[in-house]
Amino acid sequence: MEITLAEKVETSFVKVNEVTYAYRLLGKKSDVPLVLCHRFRGTMDDWDPAIVDLLSKERTVILFDNAGVGLSTGVTPNNIPEMANHAVIFMESLGFDQVDLLGFSMGGCIAQQVTLERPDLVRSLILAGTGPGGGEGIQSAAPEVFQVAMKPVNVPEDFLYLFFEQTETSQVKGKVYLERLQKRKEDRSPFVSEASVKAQAQALMNVREKNFLFPRLGEIKQPVLIMNGNDDIMIPAINSYIMSQHIKNAQLIIYPDAGHGFLFQYPELFTEHVSTFLKNV
């Protein structure tokens, strides 16, 4: 069985102030790296190795655990602005003047905040399965979806429900994705702690209730690629459409027969779209 780059790349660490950030840097050397910001309850080891390997064929890719998550130390903030500040501190600690930023789900909120506060740092922005929290027309997940997402421990059936369509084709792809996640055997990030889960949940609630991202979407001038599955029960696809209408330089792609985890269902197509976008930035 072929060993993938994502499976064997070593974890590195950088300490800034009192926080040690864990990260993995891999791929073809590029002047502008692609930095990936993950979802609620996600760590470096929840990124699909198929996606990481394909993206890293053309550019430098950086995965990291934000403060208090996975292999990183510190306390997880209970708000998006502080999470974004940690992301900026981490990226600047590696000495990069500019990055391309890919944010998935909650990571998309963080990526938006980073772009708004540090537009000099972000060359382009990719927003996958995410939204601006609140605002006119923005839709939230149903209560039963939140109940599953907030379970103390999520089993495979929960992931298949939350991230994939309830069709045979989507469910099969979801199971294959979950199998891919198990390829890395050593040096894995631990599950996100209960305290960090609660902090992240509070951050997501705040971004919706305080509505500080939506009014500022028009300030984003960078090229933006917005992507989602057509039946995302976590962050409905209508939110992606609304964002594309408020960000001046945005393009939108919706994937069929797919939910929140559309990128894991279509890793080849997703990375092809991302690569094409970045080549034209």
* Domains of the chain from N-terminus onward: 5-279 (3.40.50.1820)
At 98 the pLDDT is 97
CA atoms within 13 A on the CB side of 227: 25
Q: Is 24 helix (H, G, I), strand (E, B) or coil?
A: strand
E strand residue ranges, 90-249: 99-104, 122-128, 224-229
Overall average pLDDT of the 25-35 stretch? 95
3 pLDDT exceeds 50? no
Cα 58 to the center of its chain, rounded Å: 20
Q: Is 269 helix (H, G, I), strand (E, B) or coil?
A: helix
253 forms bridges with which residues in the sheet? 227
Confidence band of 6 (pLDDT split at 50, 70, 90): confident
Q: What is the rounded distance in angstroms from the CA atom of residue 171 to the CA atom of residue 85?
A: 36
Q: What is the rounded distance in angstroms from the CA atom of residue 64 to the CA atom of residue 36?
A: 7
H or E element in which residue 21 lies:
strand 19-27
pTM, to two decimals: 0.96
At 1 the pLDDT is 35
Q: State pLDDT tens for residues 103-127.
A: 999 999 999 999 999 999 999 999 9
**The pair of three-digit structure tokens given for residue 207, joined into one six-digit string:** 């971004």
Q: Decide: 187 and 22 in contact? Cβ < 8 Å.
A: no
Confidence band of 4 (pLDDT split at 50, 70, 90): low
198 pLDDT exceeds 50? yes
Separation in Å, CA 18 to CA 15, 80, 109, 187: 7, 19, 24, 22
Length of the chain in residues, anyone? 281
Q: What is the rounded distance in angstroms from the CA atom of residue 205 to the CA atom of residue 228?
A: 21
Q: Is 64 helix (H, G, I), strand (E, B) or coil?
A: strand
151 pLDDT exceeds 70? yes
Residue type, 209: E
